[in-house]
Amino acid sequence: MTYPAQLVELIEEFQDADDQMERLEMVFEMADEVVLIPIDDWSDQTRVVGCQSEAHVRVSLDDGKVLMAGAADAQLVQGLMGILTIAINGSAPAQALLLSPEFAQEMGILKSLSPSRSNGFRNMFDKVMLAIRGLVE
Amino acid sequence: MPLRDDFPILRRLVHGHPLVYLDNAATTQKPQVVIDAMNDYYTQSNANVHRAVHTLAGEATDGYEACRTRLKSWFNAERAILTSGTTEAINLVAHAWGRANLVKGDAIVLTEMEHHSDIVPWQMLAEERGVEVRYVPVLEDFTLDMDVYAASLEGAKLVCVVHTSNVLGVRNPLEDIIRLGHEAGAKVLIDAAQGVPHERIDFDAFGADFMAFSAHKMCGPTGIGALLVRPEVFEEMEPFMGGGDMIETVTIEGSTYQTNEHKFEAGTPRIAEAIGWNAAFGWMEPLDLKHEHKRMLEIARYTAAELRTLGMTVYGRHDDEDSAVVSFLHPTLHSEDLAHLLDARGYAVRTGHHCAQPLLHRLGISSTVRASFYLYNTMEEAEQFIAQVKSILERFA
């Protein structure tokens, strides 16, 4: 998988982390990268179903480029949203749709990408990609 | 602790740290004798059970049936049906007894403390048959409202109650529940998935009509469990799954069925798993379970008390008969975050709704972190766990 340059840089930073705890701390810091959806705008439409935490995403196009917004009550899930934000925001939809979720494994953050109720990242990633597809089809 | 040496998985590292396994209410680890028994079966005796006359088939049949014999002696039960686990055992009651004995207008009494496995099969049956489902509420002290229970028995044909809550660790007053249920003319099913790992139950003396549980929560393999049934209630059950092994004769015109437990074990059963489970019973046999239970409870009490001093809300109770489960929440650090951070240091805990959403709804929360202790856990592990939680809170909360 070829990733966008900004994501490649991030993957390398994560791989260089001393240990898993430091890696998770870095994910926590990524939570600030998210374009936040105010809590009043959280709805069933924005909710990431099957997530242990309360997580919301919304995708729109801004001048033809992807604009993802999100929020989660778990810092780790919001941090993963932040990483996804860096990866796709400002990209053309067709380019964003090329992204596969394996980068979270390559970063060493997640062991499993299997869809499950404990895998907030995978559920969130799938919802974002589905939303982008909906915008361009 | 010599007992720990029997569990090879406890020697592994997770993210470079020694594994501290505190997710025992979900599943327990397996001693080497269980792994060896299953491995020996596949390397020496693998064959299908019950009908072939060759040596391997005889060994496989003896191994499979030895598990049933062990279940009957361990629990003092006359009928032991082998299932895939607690969930299938409860679903078997819903299909084999419920559909043969419940009609529109009958009532089933459940509690808000049930695992989804003891709710959903009854909701499905209720929808299909027009049966009413009543729920006994959980009080603020995490116990069942026994006044509501007594009142809800009017016209009830079946009571289904969890032995010990997988979230709260609370062991319910089952003796009273069974007695009152029977006085009202209802059959009583106990979901003992969390009970049998901690308590040696005499099923005949216990008095329940059905008891469901799984091997994997008591050091046995996944994929196998049992349904114990009182003999007179067993006769009220109709076959559920049709297929090989459960029949007596099959003709074009129709079939007749076995009259023993095989009637409910259609298809090739879980032979290796049964052999592994029997080995787990053998491993547990010499243990003083009462002493071990007391020791585990001391660990749970210490953990709960220390977590409270760290600002956690602890959901549950640790009286003498309760299980060693500690469910807790931090006011700001999300349960999922805490679990990931603990995992980074080798601590395996569970988060989420623990398949008990009605209970969590009653508690006004959507998830907890759950640390659950079992035979191989030590007080030292609990102390390290508390130190790690403290360190995480200092860094992240």
Four-residue CA torsion sign, A50, A51, A55, A60: negative
Tell which CATH classification among 2.60.120.1270, 3.90.550.10, 1.20.210.10, 3.90.1150.10 matches the domain B2-22+289-396. Answer: 3.90.1150.10
- Tokens representing B143 are 């116990």
pLDDT surpassing 70 at residue A116: no
- Under DSSP, the state recorded for B253 is S
Give pLDDT, residue B256: 86
- Dist. CA A96–CA A136, nearest whole Å: 11
A20 touches chain B (CB under 8 A): yes
Q: How far does the CA of residue B201 sit from the closest CA of chain A (Å)?
A: 34
The one-letter amino acid at A5: A
CATH number, domain B34-284, options 3.40.50.1820, 3.40.640.10, 3.30.2320.80, 3.40.50.300: 3.40.640.10
State pLDDT tens for residues A71-87.
Answer: 998 898 899 999 999 99
Sheet containing A65-72, strands listed edge to edge, beginning at the edge strand earlier in sequence:
A35-36, A65-72, A55-62
Round to whole Å and give the CA distance between B156 and B253: 38
**What pLDDT score does A115 carry?**
56
Please report the pLDDT score of residue A54 as a whole number. Answer: 87
User: Does B67 qualify as catalytic in the annotation?
Assistant: no
pLDDT at residue A117, rounded to an integer: 52
Which chain A residues have a beta carbon less than 8 Å from that of B340?
Answer: 24, 76
Average pLDDT, chain A: 89
Q: Which residue of A has its CA nearest to B391?
A: A21
Q: Is B344 on the interface with A (CB under 8 A)?
A: yes
Q: How close A63 comes to chain B (CA, Å)?
A: 35
3-state secondary structure B273-307: HHHHHHHHHHHHCCCCHHHHHHHHHHHHHHHHHHH
Residue A51 has pLDDT above 90, yes or no: no
pLDDT (0 to 100) of residue B244: 81
Band (pLDDT 50/70/90 cuts) for residue A113 is low
Beta-carbon separation of A19 and B336 below 8 A: no
Q: What number of other Cβ atoms are within 10 A of residue B154's Cβ?
A: 10
Interface subset of A 102-131, CB within 8 angstroms of B? 117-118, 120
Beta strands in chain B (DSSP E): 13-14, 17-18, 20-21, 79-83, 107-111, 132-136, 156-162, 187-191, 210-214, 225-229, 247-250, 255-257, 313-315, 325-329, 347-348, 350-352, 368-372
Give the pLDDT score at B169: 96
Joined tokens for residue B234:
């067993």
Which of B249, B241, B328, B277 lies closest to B66 in space, CA to CA?
B277
Mean of pLDDT values over A46-60: 87
- Looking at B67, B160, B219, B355, which residue is catalytic? B355
Dihedral angle at the C-alpha atoms of B207, B211, B213, B218, nearest 10 degrees?
A: 10
Decide if B11 touches A, using CB distance below 8 A: no
**Which sequence spans correspond to the domains of chain B?**
2-22+289-396, 34-284
Per the CB < 8 A criterion, the answer to whether A114 and A122 are in contact is yes
| Chain A residue closest in CA terms to B341 | A21
CB proximity under 8 Å: B 222-261 to A:
none
pLDDT of residue B375: 98
Question: How far, CA to CA in Å, does B281 sit from each of B4, B227, B276, B329?
Answer: 17, 16, 9, 35
Domain of A80: which CATH number?
A: 3.90.1010.10
Neighbour order of strands in the sheet with B325-329: B313-315, B325-329, B368-372, B350-352
According to the model, what pLDDT value does residue A81 have? 93
CB contact under 8 A, B396 and A19: no
- Block mean pLDDT (10 aa), chain B, length 397: 92 96 98 98 95 92 97 98 98 97 96 94 94 97 97 97 96 98 98 97 97 98 98 95 84 86 94 98 97 97 98 97 97 93 96 88 91 98 98 94
Q: What pLDDT shows up at residue B333?
A: 95
Between CA B325 and CA B333, with CA B328 as vertex, the angle to 5 degrees is 145
* Residue in A23, A25, A74 closest to B336 by CB: A74
Minimum-distance CB partner of A75 among B334, B343, B345: B334
| Residue A43 sits at the chain B interface (C-beta within 8 Å) | no
> Chain B within 8 Å of A23 (Cβ-Cβ)?
yes
d(CA B79, CA B375): 28
Domain that holds residue A70: 5-136
Q: Structurally, how many domains does chain A consist of?
A: 1
Q: How far is A13 from chain B, CA to nearest CA, in Å?
A: 18
Compute the nearest-CA separation of A69 from chain B (Å): 21
- With contacts defined as CB-CB under 8 Å, which chain B residues touch A117? 352
Look at residue A112 in the predicted model and tell me its pLDDT. Answer: 64
Contact at CB, A76 and B336, closer than 8 angstroms: yes
Q: Is B325 helix (H, G, I), strand (E, B) or coil?
A: strand
Pair of tokens at residue A53:
């935490």
Alpha-carbon gap: B178 to the closest alpha carbon of chain A (Å): 35
- Give the largest Cα separation in chain B, rounded: 73
**Which tokens sit at A121?**
């990242």
Chain B CB within 8 Å of residue A60 CB: no
What residue ranges in A1-137 does DSSP mark as E strands? 35-36, 55-62, 65-72
CB contact under 8 A, A28 and B396: yes
